[in-house]
């Protein structure tokens, strides 16, 4: 069962619901986002019915959910959600009314490289800067990222460009420091089913970008989102970044159908990552166009001022004419589908 709190519900209203649920032996998980609060109930449904929760002050609605994921299900929230990212005054939306471009270097390497990539991202129309400080590399001998120094460089790039920052966290021990520097926490494909890490980011008080595990079903991916929501954070954006198939022409296979499938069943926004899906810069623009047409709420891409020197994922990084072509697709195509430019709604 999910209790949807009214927009003006107070902390006391929330506490009263939790107390009533616990009084009949149930458990209540409070999940908050910038825009609203919902409470997931676990326990005996009949005893919850007797509580008449709908009549409590601050309660907007109560829903019985048949999906295995509750808080992220569309059953209690028929409208699709908008997630706001960034600090006050520079908060940008990701959701059904807009189209969001997130761009930046795969890895933070130096202050200059990061700032240049951030400026490229901004000129291309991006509203969120991406960049890895903690890199989940397949080889332990590959560049692992600059760690906390990388977070500081990202924070400086945010100050210089006004773009909120999304960056990956790979270890539950680093969640606090990443949350201190970044505006949105990214869970990468390799950690989608790291349940302890999902719980830790759920408690960190920042919106989360949750990539699909490369071998995860859509239901497993939504259950991973539920872990984050259950620990307190309902502002989760899902990212389809390609799944592992038998096809070697691309690094992974971008599962375009995941976009409408997820949107039919979850209220959370969905974006695509054509860079990590394909690993090939010649495919980024066609895949981004396909994602826009399929109804994605945004796209995240790698850009680099000098891809040939990149320490990570150079072959998929955009620059120059390729980046301009992406910018043009992102500016023109979503508008045809009735979406607004996320830059116009910053608040």
| Contacts to ligand PEP by CB under 6 A | 106, 132, 136, 168, 188-189, 211, 241, 273, 276
* CB of 188 vs ligand PEP, minimal distance in Å: 3
Q: Establish if 256 lies at the interface with Mn ion (CB under 5 A).
A: no
The one among 313, 317, 327, 334 contacting Mn ion by CB under 5 A:
313
CB of 97 to ligand PEP, least distance (A): 25
Query: Minimum CB separation from Mn ion for residue 312, in Å?
Result: 5
| Cα 149 to chain centroid, rounded | 23
Residue 106 as a binder of Mn ion (CB under 5 A): the answer is yes
Task: Pick the closer one to Mn ion by CB: 43 or 136.
Answer: 136
Q: Which does 255 bind (CB under 5 to 8 A by kind): ligand PEP, Mn ion, none?
A: none
CB-nearer residue toward ligand PEP: 244 or 347: 244
Shortest gap between Cβ of 209 and ligand PEP (angstroms)?
Answer: 9
Q: Quick one: what does residue 136 bind among ligand PEP, Mn ion, none, with the CB cut-off 5 to 8 Å set by partner type?
A: ligand PEP
Nearest CB to ligand PEP, comparing residues 37 and 275 = 275
**33: partner contacted, choices Mn ion, ligand PEP, none (Cβ within 5-8 A by kind):** none
Task: For the CB of residue 26, give the shortest distance to ligand PEP in the complex, in Å.
Answer: 36
Nearest residue to ligand PEP, scored by beta-carbon proximity: 188
* Residue 304 contacts which entry, ligand PEP, Mn ion, none (Cβ below 5-8 A, type-dependent): none
Size of the site for Mn ion (CB under 5 A): 2
Report the interface residues with Mn ion, using CB under 5 A.
106, 313
């Amino acid at each position: 069962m999910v209790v949807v709190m009214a927009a003006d519900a107070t902390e006391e209203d929330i506490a009263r619901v939790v107390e009533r649920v616990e009084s009949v032996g149930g458990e209540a998980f409070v999940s908050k986002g910038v825009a609203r609060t919902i409470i997931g109930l676990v326990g005996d449904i009949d005893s919850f019915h007797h509580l008449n929760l709908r009549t409590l002050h601050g309660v907007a609605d109560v829903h019985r959910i048949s999906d295995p994921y509750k808080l992220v299900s569309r059953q209690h929230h028929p409208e699709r959600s908008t997630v706001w990212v960034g600090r006050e005054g520079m908060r940008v939306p990701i959701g059904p009314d807009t189209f969001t471009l997130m761009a930046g270097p795969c890895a933070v390497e130096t202050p200059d490289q990061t700032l240049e990539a951030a400026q490229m991202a901004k000129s291309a129309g991006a509203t969120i800067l991406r960049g890895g400080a903690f890199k989940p590399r397949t080889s332990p001998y590959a560049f692992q990222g600059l760690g906390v120094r990388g977070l500081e460089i990202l924070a400086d790039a945010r100050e210089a460009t006004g773009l909120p920052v999304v960056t990956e966290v790979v270890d539950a021990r680093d969640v606090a420091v990443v949350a201190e520097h970044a505006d949105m926490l990214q869970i990468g494909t390799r950690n989608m089913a790291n349940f302890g890490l999902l719980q830790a980011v759920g408690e960190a008080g920042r919106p989360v970008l949750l990539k699909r595990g490369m071998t995860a079903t859509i239901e497993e991916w939504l259950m991973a989102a539920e872990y984050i929501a259950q620990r307190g954070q309902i502002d989760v954006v899902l990212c389809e970044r390609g799944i592992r198939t038998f096809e070697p022409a691309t690094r992974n296979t971008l599962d375009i159908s995941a976009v409408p499938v997820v949107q039919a069943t979850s209220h959370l926004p969905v974006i695509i990552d054509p860079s990590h899906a394909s690993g090939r810069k010649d495919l980024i623009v066609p895949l981004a166009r396909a994602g826009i047409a399929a109804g994605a709420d945004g796209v995240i891409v790698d850009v680099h001022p000098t891809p040939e020197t990149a320490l990570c994922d150079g072959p998929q990084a955009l620059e120059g004419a390729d980046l301009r072509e992406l910018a043009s697709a992102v500016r023109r195509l979503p508008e045809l589908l009735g979406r607004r430019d996320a830059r116009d709604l910053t608040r």
